């Protein structure tokens, strides 16, 4: 592979990994909001 192709591959992989982390964090935020709403209803 050429160096440009390797650079493109590494950049693509890093973007995909950071996107997964972002989605995981968003899921945690949504879960936290849901838990807070449930706690408010039950109190």
Q: pLDDT by residue (tens digit) across 21-40? A: 777 777 888 888 888 888 88
pLDDT of residue 22: 78
3-class secondary-structure state, position 11 = helix
**In angstroms, what CA-CA distances link 41 with 6, 23, 24, 28?**
53, 27, 26, 20
The pTM for the full model equals 0.51
Mean pLDDT of 4-20: 81
| pLDDT at position 17 | 73
What's the angle, vertex CA 41, arms to CA 39 and CA 33, rounded to 5? 50
With a cut of 70, say whether residue 1 has pLDDT above it: no
Q: Is the pLDDT of residue 12 over 80?
A: yes
Average pLDDT over the chain reads 81
Give CA–CA dist 4/40, Å, rounded: 54
């Amino acid at each position: 592979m050429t160096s440009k192709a390797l650079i493109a591959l590494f950049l693509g992989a890093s973007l995909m990994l950071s996107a997964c982390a972002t989605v995981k964090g968003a899921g945690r935020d949504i879960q936290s909001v849901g838990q807070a709403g449930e706690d408010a209803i039950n109190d």
